[in-house]
Amino acid sequence: MTTNTKPRGLEGIVAAETRLSHVDGQNGILIVAGYSIEDLAAHATFEEVAHLLWRGHLPNASELKDLSSQMAEQRELLPVTLEILRSAAKAPPIDALRMACATLSLGLKDPNAVTHEADFAAAIRLTACFPTIVAAHARFAKGEKPIAPRRDLSLAANFLYMVLGREPDAVAAKALDSYWVTVMDHGMNASTFTARVIASTRSDLVSSVTGALGALKGPLHGGAPGPVLDMLRDIKTSANAEPWIRNELAQGRRIMGFGHRVYKVRDPRAEVLSRVAEKMQGAKLENRELFELARQVEQTALRVLNELKPGRNLRTNVEFYTALVLQAVGLEPTQFVAMFACGRVAGWCAHVIEQHEQDHLIRPQSEYTGPIDLKTNR
């Protein structure tokens, strides 16, 4: 009997060369275009990091003003997109975003062009419109009319204005901006690979990103920040944390917010978002008791996981503090995956741009394992 040593799911196979991000799972390091994610999240805005990924350098003041203005001008949705969102009011936000994303090519000068300028134009359009789509769908889901975007606000602040219907809290807007920076790019994950495969056929950027959204929807990739809140609400108090966690593990269930396919130490994005959540304290944004409970549950979970699953290195991942940050700014758990997409879209666009530059078809081989001698007997 032979042992199949071939990697499953292309695991460990280098599929592309990229300047965009580097993930070091053994040491808990994430580098985005040369910068540590901790540095970018603390000192750069979403628009600045998008420019970094698309153009290869952080923008100067003039470049940032130009990009921010272009994004602000591209935020409004076409009537056809709004109609789709109205029709999909009861659908999950990630499904509505996927449906609406495909219509964004209608607002482009040449949606099928595969050129630098066409890609940059499409990247700006998609990145500007994703928050508008999610906000409009949230309003439709409540039976309310969408709120038109404003051009005088940052992307994050404008989103909060559109979804909540009031002047955005500056601390909340900064927290959301930092979250989007933190999740903007993360190596050759499933959705990014999907986008690159589509782009490698010389398909357009909108088609590539629409495919990426389909990959993100899958629970093995899109994550589970919503269930982290369910877990905390079930636990209720720090005294209940250990027996609750032990019971879940005894039943063979996962502890949400812990463990990662790549990271064998604490996810650096969890460290960033932990600091973001801490900075939100004092603002009228979240339940302080929930935050304190999360801190205590985290320490208890790490201790119990290390005891019961030694060697598995099940450390805190990005989902754990994502849940705290997003609920703190007033969002519902059903919106969390779509909110992740609002940050990751800039990274997807960067990978499509890079794949178009490389212009090489991604065409892996497969090994046939079925029969070869069947007859129809006709």
Number of domains in the chain: 2
Residues 343 and 323 reside in one and the same domain: no
Residues 66 and 211 reside in one and the same domain: yes
Residues 344 and 320 reside in one and the same domain: no
Sequence-separated (6 or more) residues with CB below 8 Å from residue 104: 81, 122, 125, 126, 129, 206
Which of 48, 248, 298, 319 is catalytic? The answer is 319
- Tell me which amino acid residue 312 is: R
Task: With respect to residue 17, please indicate whether it lies within any of the assigned structural domains.
Answer: no
Q: Which residue has the tokens 């979240």?
A: 286
Q: Which two tokens stand for residue 50?
A: 């998008």
Q: What is the DSSP letter of 293?
A: H
Residues 217 and 280 reside in one and the same domain: no
Pairing, β 29-32 against β 35-36: antiparallel
What is the reported pLDDT for 217?
92
- Tell me which amino acid residue 138 is: A
What is the reported pLDDT for 234?
94
Residues 74 and 203 reside in one and the same domain: yes
Output 193-196 pairs: Cβ under 8 A, ≥24 positions apart: 193/15, 195/348, 195/351, 195/352, 195/355, 196/15, 196/16, 196/351, 196/352, 196/354, 196/355, 196/362
Which of 51, 186, 260, 356 is catalytic? The answer is 260
**Annotation says 186 is catalytic:** no
Residues 171 and 238 reside in one and the same domain: no
Buried b (16+ CB within 10 A) or exposed e, 270-294: bbbbbebbeebeeeebbeeebbebb
What is the reported pLDDT for 287?
60
Task: With respect to residue 266, please indicate whether it lies within any of the assigned structural domains.
Answer: yes
Find residue 29's DSSP bridge partners.
Answer: 24
Q: Which residue has the tokens 């909060």?
A: 160
Residues 234 and 107 reside in one and the same domain: no
Q: Sign of dihedral through CA atoms 79, 80, 86, 92? A: negative
For residues 173 and 156, the answer to whether their CB atoms sit within 8 Å is yes
Task: With respect to residue 125, please indicate whether it lies within any of the assigned structural domains.
Answer: yes
- For residue 136, which of 77, 69, 74 has the smallest C-alpha distance? 77
Residues 205 and 96 reside in one and the same domain: yes
What is the reported pLDDT for 133?
98
The helix/strand/coil state of 283 is coil
What is the reported pLDDT for 324?
86
Longest Cα–Cα distance in the chain? 78
What is the reported pLDDT for 223?
63
CATH at 240: 1.10.230.10
Q: What is the pLDDT along the chain (378 residues), one digit of tens a residue?
A: 445 566 676 777 777 889 999 999 888 899 999 999 999 999 999 999 999 999 999 999 999 999 999 999 999 999 999 999 999 999 999 999 999 999 999 989 988 999 999 999 999 999 999 999 999 999 999 999 999 999 999 999 999 999 999 998 898 999 999 999 999 999 999 999 999 999 999 999 999 999 999 999 988 777 666 788 889 999 999 999 999 999 999 999 989 889 887 887 788 998 899 888 888 865 555 466 787 898 899 999 999 999 999 988 888 888 888 888 898 888 888 899 999 999 999 999 999 999 999 999 999 888 889 999 899 987
What is the reported pLDDT for 155?
96
Residues 287 and 346 reside in one and the same domain: no
DSSP 161-221: HHHHSSPPPHHHHHHHHHHHHHTS--SS-HHHHHHHHHHHTT--HHHHHHHHHHHHHSHHH
Q: What are the two backbone dihedrals, phi and then psi, of residue 374, each rounded to the nearest 5 degrees?
A: -70, 150
Task: With respect to residue 349, please indicate whether it lies within any of the assigned structural domains.
Answer: yes
Q: Indicate the pTM of the whole model.
A: 0.91
Q: What is the pLDDT of residues 147-167, one digit of tens each?
A: 999 999 999 999 999 999 999
CATH at 170: 1.10.580.10
**Annotation says 260 is catalytic:** yes
Whole-number Å distance between alpha carbons of 374 and 317: 49
- For residue 139, which of 345, 332, 342, 329 has the smallest C-alpha distance? 332
Q: Which domain holds residue 315?
A: 225-328
Residues 89 and 193 reside in one and the same domain: yes
Task: With respect to residue 375, please indicate whether it lies within any of the assigned structural domains.
Answer: no
Task: With respect to residue 300, please indicate whether it lies within any of the assigned structural domains.
Answer: yes
Find residue 36's DSSP bridge partners.
Answer: 31
Query: How many CA atoms are closer than 13 Å to the CA of 67, on its beta-carbon side?
Result: 25
Task: With respect to residue 255, please indicate whether it lies within any of the assigned structural domains.
Answer: yes
Residues 214 and 229 reside in one and the same domain: no
Residues 204 and 234 reside in one and the same domain: no
- The percent helix, strand, coil of the chain (3-state, each to 5) is 60, 5, 35
- Tell me which amino acid residue 323 is: A
Q: What are the two backbone dihedrals, phi and then psi, of residue 30, each rounded to the nearest 5 degrees?
A: -125, 115
State in Å, rounded, how far the first CA of the chain is from the last one. 35
What is the reported pLDDT for 242?
96
Sequence-separated (6 or more) residues with CB below 8 Å from residue 19: 33, 56, 354
Task: With respect to residue 131, please indicate whether it lies within any of the assigned structural domains.
Answer: yes
